[in-house]
Structure formats: structure tokens, C-alpha cells
Amino acid sequence: MMLFAISAAPLYAEDALSLASLDYRLNTLWLLIASVKIFLMHLGFATLESGLTRAKNTVNILFKNLTVLALGILGFTLCGYSFMFQGDPLVPVSSWFGFAGWGAGDMSGALTLNASGNYEVTRWSFLLFQAMFAATCATIVSGAVAERIKLSAFLIFSFVYVSVVYPVLGSWTWGQGWLHQRGFTDFAGSTVVHSVGGWAALAGAIFLGPRLGKYVNSTTKPMIGHSLPLATLGVFMLWFGWYGFNGGSVFSRSPELLSQVFVVTTLSASAGLFTTILLTWLIQGKPDLTMMLNGALGGLVGVTAGANLYGVSTSLWVGIISGALVVTFIPLFDKLRVDDPVGALSVHLVCGVWGTLAVGVFSSAHSLGVQFLGVFTYGAAAFASASVLFLILRSTSGLRVSEEEELAGLDLGEHGMEAYTGFQIFTTQ
């Protein structure tokens, strides 16, 4: 007995409209889910950074990472969106610098993105997604300046950098500005997010100087993070969130492209992780967990610029080279006496540069010369802008906490509380 029948009726116009509406809803839903994944990346940044630094600074680390998320979202919505897209993401920006007015403008209606696929999303979802990217750029700086920067100076810097510098630079590519028009490509932000944040982190580390006792005469004193379980949890969270970071940049729930981006993102991270294991095992005689964590992140940063272009073998090579760069540059920065407590410079700056150049190396459709032009221009503009901001802060409100406060820990000095009460905090380092 047949209880159900399948209709073979033709697809009428109203049915096609329903399918188009369904695509619009699903694309928007995926972009919102991706935004939430990026939001969770900030939990990963908070746990990674606090785990790789000393216990006496944990409250300060957690405070900064949560606050900078809110500051980034507020600043980008207040004026950053207008700097990056100058009022309408569908219209290419016409100059190096433009401003469409305060606020994000009219959020009604749909945006058609990724013209080759005619993907539509709501303007609201696009704003949220871009705001999460902006906050991520500022968070990168936090790790490199950890354990010695004044809280007020860091918050002021983060707000200005995310509200003005990051979106202006972003308009050159994602606002379809002059670099985009020359053929420069950065799919999900190896340069626009990670290197722009990394250059600012480098400027901050230089202007602050190293932590007390880090470099003595010609030796480097290890300052071991207080919780490797926290740091490892952070990398798990960041890796998870990266599927929103790269996958959301598809701007569609397109089955093939989204699957491709997920797979190559996973492969590059895995290759970066195993490369650092092998290299540290060969160099040190034992595998290094902290280097492995940064190797996975380096692979994620490296693949971000071209995740929509790569196949299996290319993504593996990108990850392998990213892992090797992490192992090379973390000790190199120490030799140069640039104190980076969490390896943010090697991961976000160095691997961000490599990932952007890799598009020109591995993709015949893109010019290595144009990719280099983008890397150079972004580096010069981001480093110079961040240096000016840090110089102003150092000359006015001050940039670094006192020696006494640094030795006792920023938790007590900046917040008057401890993350781990009831334990003795050693203040000799």
C-alpha cells in the first residue's frame, strides 16, 4: 500500500524564486555562523596568550583580550566600516584614503558578493563578519607586548588602530581599492589581517623593549609560560575558529568551494604542526610543544591568503614552509633582542608575509611581483602608522609600566587582583 507519492511536477517561476530565497537565507546563516566561530577565536587568543605568559600577568592578559574584542567591534562599526568600504562594499573605493561618514550606514537589503557565484547575504551579517576580522587584527598585537605594556596605552592604541589604520589599509584590497585593481589578492587576510597586526606587534615590541631580565649580556633567559594546558586549549580553539575565518570568506555555503577551503586549511595547519615537531626533534633532541602549537598556527596563517586557490599538494607545501619559518624566526627574534612572549611575530607577521607571497608562487593566475608590492606597501604603512601611535603614547601617557609593577606582576599593579589566589607569586623575574 503506497502511503506517500513523489511529485514530478516541473519547476515553476515561483519555485525558482523560493530556491533563490533559500540560497540567500543559507548564505546569510553560514556567514553568521562563521562570525561566531571567529568570535570564539578570541577565547583561543586569550587562553593561548595567558598560558604562554607568567601567572602574575594572567588577569591582565584576559582583560586585554576580552576588552579589545569589544573595542574592535565598536570602533569598526563607528567609523572603520566607512573607511574600509566608504559607504558601499559593492562600489570600488576611489582613493588611498576615504571616509563615508560616521556609522555603518543603511543596513537594509542584500549584498551580492563573489560575483562569479552571485552570492547574496544581508548587510547586517557582512558588517558583523568584518567587525570580527577587525578585532582579530588588534588582538595579534596583545601577545607581542604582553607583560610590560600599560593597560591604558594598549587600549588606546587598539581602538585607534582598528578604527582607522586597519580599515584604511583594508580598503586597498577588500574595498576593491588600488591594490585590488592591480591584481593583488588576499583571500582571507594573511596580509590584510595577520601581517597588518604583525607589523604593529613588531613596532610595539621595539618601542617597549624586552621584559626585565629577558636578555642578560649575550644570553637569553627563558621565561616559561605558566600553563601549557591553557596554551594548547587556545590553539584548539583558534584552529576551530579558523574554519569560520577562511570558510566565511567564501561568503556562501557553496558546497565545492567551502569544502575545498576547509580541507586545505586543515592540511596546511597539520603540515605546519608536523614540520615543527620534526625540526625541533632534530635540532633539540626532543620535540617542543610550544613550537608545535605555533607551527599549527603558522600553517593556518600561511594558507589564509590562497585557501580558495590551492589543492592538496600546494596546501601541504604552504604549511611545511610556514612551520619551518616559525622554527627559524622565533629564535632569530630573540637573537635580535626583540622580545615576543608568545611567538606572535613569527606566526602572524612572518607567515602572513609568506602566505601572501605564496599566492604568486603557486598560482599562475597571480603575479608574484604584485603580491610583493602588496606585502611591501602594507608593511611600510602598518609599521609606520603603529610606530607613530606608540611614539605618541610613549611621549604622553607613557607606554610601559614601572619596574616595580612589572616585577610584582600586572595583575596586582593594573587590576589589584590575582588570577590564582592563595598561591605565592615569585617576583624575582
Give 254's pLDDT tier (boundaries 50, 70, 90).
Answer: confident
| All three cell numbers of 183 | 591584481
> What's the CATH number for 24-97+110-415?
1.10.3430.10
- The 10s digit of each residue's pLDDT in 100-126 is 888 888 888 788 876 544 578 999 999
Question: Above 70 in pLDDT, residue 166?
Answer: yes
Percentage above 70 pLDDT, the chain: 92
- The secondary structure of 124-166 as a DSSP string is HHHHHHHHHHHHHHHHHHHHHTTTTB-HHHHHHHHHHIIIIIH
- The 10s digit of each residue's pLDDT in 357-366 is 999 999 999 9
Residues 174/192, Cβ–Cβ less than 8 Å:
yes
Question: Above 90 in pLDDT, residue 337?
Answer: yes
* The overall pTM is greater than 0.85: yes
Question: Above 80 in pLDDT, residue 185?
Answer: yes
Domain boundaries, the chain: 24-97+110-415
pLDDT at 424: 54
CA distances, 284 to each of 95, 248, 276 (Å): 51, 39, 11
Average pLDDT in the chain: 91
**Angstrom distance (rounded) from CA 373 to CA 304:** 18
**In 3D, which of 178, 242, 182, 27 has the Cα closest to residue 117?**
27
Give 423's pLDDT tier (boundaries 50, 70, 90).
Answer: low
305-333 mean pLDDT = 97
- The 10s digit of each residue's pLDDT in 349-383 is 999 999 999 999 999 999 999 999 999 999 999 99
CA distances, 394 to each of 71, 209, 377, 387, 428 (Å): 21, 12, 26, 10, 26
276-302 mean pLDDT = 97
